[in-house]
Structure 1
Amino acid sequence: MKPSPADPEAWNAYLAEGNAMQARKRVSADVLLRDEEGRVLLVKPTYKPGWDLPGGMAEANEAPDDAARRELKEEFGLDVTLHGLLVVDWVPPHGPWDDQLAFIFDGGTLTARQTVEIRPHDRELLRLRLCPRPKPHQRTRPAGDPRGHRRSAVAVRAGRIRGRRTALGELLRPDQAHRGHRHRARAARGRGCRRAVDRRGAAR
């Protein structure tokens, strides 16, 4: 017999059973950070190939924006004020991983001093780099996530317009993605990334 809200203890136990049966989503929270020249901060993790936006996975029952701030504090020792959500996307299952929700937040602009002094504090990061835009060979989340590069590219475009929010539908429009690829290629030509810096501050 289905319990009634008139019996709070039985009702909450009934709801808890339903909650336990529902799917759980993994959540990633990344941050778009720029320097004063507009270059985008990328990091090279030790645990996977390629480059990525700074950030990471949310803990159980942790809000995505809290996860983003926590990750930047752990990775760089930075206390970042987030300026809004740029992109939210669904990542399909791949390899041993279940699906996930991916958030990218606007972290604003690093000060000149922060740009000079920023170093990886986390052993999960090998080095960092400031680039005009993420390039094809720096594809974010490369293993099994073909949308990762488009997701970061849309975040870069959205971040150029203060207050803009980017819907999932824009990520799914092939014409937008195709034009974005040509634009990224033109923007990358003739403008190199700042040399990568490791945890010790050595350029590579």
Structure 2
Amino acid sequence: MSPTSSDPDAWNAYLAEGNAKQARKRVAADVLLRDPLGRVLLVNPTYKPGWDLPGGMAEANESPEEAVRRELREELGRDVDVLGLLVVDWVAPHGPWDDQIAFIFDGGTLHGGEALRPHDHELSEARFVPLEEARDLVGERMRQRLEAAMKALREGRPTYLRDGAPTW
């Protein structure tokens, strides 16, 4: 017989046991930031090939939007306002990795013309580039998400991808 909510301690232990058996998802959170010319901000990670949108992996029990804010503070010394959700991408298991949920948030347009410089060892460079150049600098998976993010901006609604492909 399963415990009921009338015994809070037994109920919480029962729920904790179920929680411990459930799958855990890796969560990535990136942000699309533009400058007044419409160029997009890319970063060059030191730990993998190719350029990327700024952001990174969420820590345990950290929301995706807080993860992207933390990553930008750590890596670029910049506080960013998250203006909305652009993309959610479920990424199938690949190589040594389990599946993942990847988010792209709208960070809006940065004004002021200040240069963004890496603040830690994870990035070698950060720069605004025209969208056409960005498409060539990022890997295929990020290219698909970037295209979906630009479409979401134009259409004013977020997009769901399944392994980089639109589902509907």
Please report the TM-score for the alignment, with normalisation by the length of structure 1. Answer: 0.75
Is 2:142 the partner of 1:156? Answer: no
Give the alignment of 1:8-47 within 5 angstroms: 8-47=8-47
Q: Higher relative contact order at CA 8 Å, sep ≥6: structure 1 or structure 2?
A: 2
d(CA) in 1 for partners of 2:166, 2:83? 26
Aligned length: 165
The runs of at least 4 consecutive aligned structure 1 residues that moved more than 4 Å come to: none
Which consecutive unaligned segments of at least 5 residues does structure 1 have?
A: 141-145, 177-204
Structure possessing the higher radius of gyration over alpha carbons: 1
Question: 1:153 is aligned with what amino acid?
Answer: E
d(CA) in 1 for partners of 2:151, 2:166? 15
Give the alignment of 1:51-70 within 5 angstroms: 51-70=51-70
Which consecutive unaligned segments of at least 5 residues does structure 2 have?
A: none
d(CA) in 2 for partners of 1:34, 1:167? 22
Work out whether residues 36 and 112 of structure 1, in 8 Å CA contact, stay in contact via their aligned partners in 2. no
Work out whether residues 35 and 112 of structure 1, in 8 Å CA contact, stay in contact via their aligned partners in 2. no
Question: 2:59 is aligned with what amino acid?
Answer: E
Work out whether residues 42 and 127 of structure 2, in 8 Å CA contact, stay in contact via their aligned partners in 1. yes
Please report the TM-score for the alignment, with normalisation by the length of structure 2. Answer: 0.90
Give the alignment of 1:67-86 within 5 angstroms: 67-86=67-86
More strand by share: 2
Question: Structure 1 96/14 Cα, relative in aligned 2: closer, same or farther at 3 Å?
Answer: same
What is the aligned-residue RMSD (CA, Å)?
1.9
d(CA) in 2 for partners of 1:104, 1:54? 10
Question: Structure 1 38/148 Cα, relative in aligned 2: closer, same or farther at 3 Å?
Answer: same
Give the alignment of 1:144-183 within 5 angstroms: 146-161=140-155, 163-168=156-161, 172-173=165-166
CA positional deviation for 1:121: 0.8
d(CA) in 1 for partners of 2:150, 2:102? 15
Work out whether residues 52 and 142 of structure 2, in 8 Å CA contact, stay in contact via their aligned partners in 1. no
